[in-house]
């Protein structure tokens, strides 16, 4: 025997980053705000600058696979030097490219 599903009395549309459910009322409020339009100038003045530039153009992100021993050694070295893992990798690549 199967039981009939009872409708959810408070349907949601997922959750916000903090876990708060997105309700129909919230969707309506956001739609009303969008219909009124946004103050683009105000939004642009509130924007944060993002990451600092690393060169003359936007930086590329490359992905590499590291075996567990190399990853551990990398973390140890970065911690010892007081710099990020990314900076250790960038410096190693600079040294490698200059040596060729």
Instruction: Determine whether 78 is exposed, middle or buried from the number of CB atoms within 10 Å of its CB (0-12, 13-18, 19+).
Output: middle
Q: What is the pLDDT of residue 9?
A: 60
Q: Does some domain include residue 93?
A: yes
The mean pLDDT values, 10 residues at a time, for the chain of 100 residues are 61 84 90 87 73 78 94 95 94 93
Q: What is the pLDDT of residue 44?
A: 76
13, part of any domain: no
Identify the helix (H) or strand (E) that includes residue 15: strand 12-15
Q: How many domains does the chain have?
A: 2
* Domain assignment present for 88: yes
In a domain, 72, yes or no: yes
For residue 92, give its domain range. 68-99
pLDDT at 14: 87
Q: Is the pTM of this model over 0.85?
A: no
């Amino acid at each position: 025997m199967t039981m009939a599903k009872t409708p959810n009395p408070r349907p949601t549309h997922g959750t916000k980053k903090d876990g708060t459910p997105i309700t129909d009322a919230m969707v309506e409020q956001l739609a009303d705000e969008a219909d009124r339009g946004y103050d683009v100038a105000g939004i642009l003045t509130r924007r944060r600058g993002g990451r600092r530039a690393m060169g003359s153009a936007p930086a590329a992100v490359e992905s590499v696979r590291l075996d567990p021993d190399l990853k551990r050694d990398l973390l140890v070295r970065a911690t010892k030097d007081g710099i990020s893992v990314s900076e250790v990798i960038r410096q190693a690549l600079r040294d490698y490219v200059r040596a060729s």
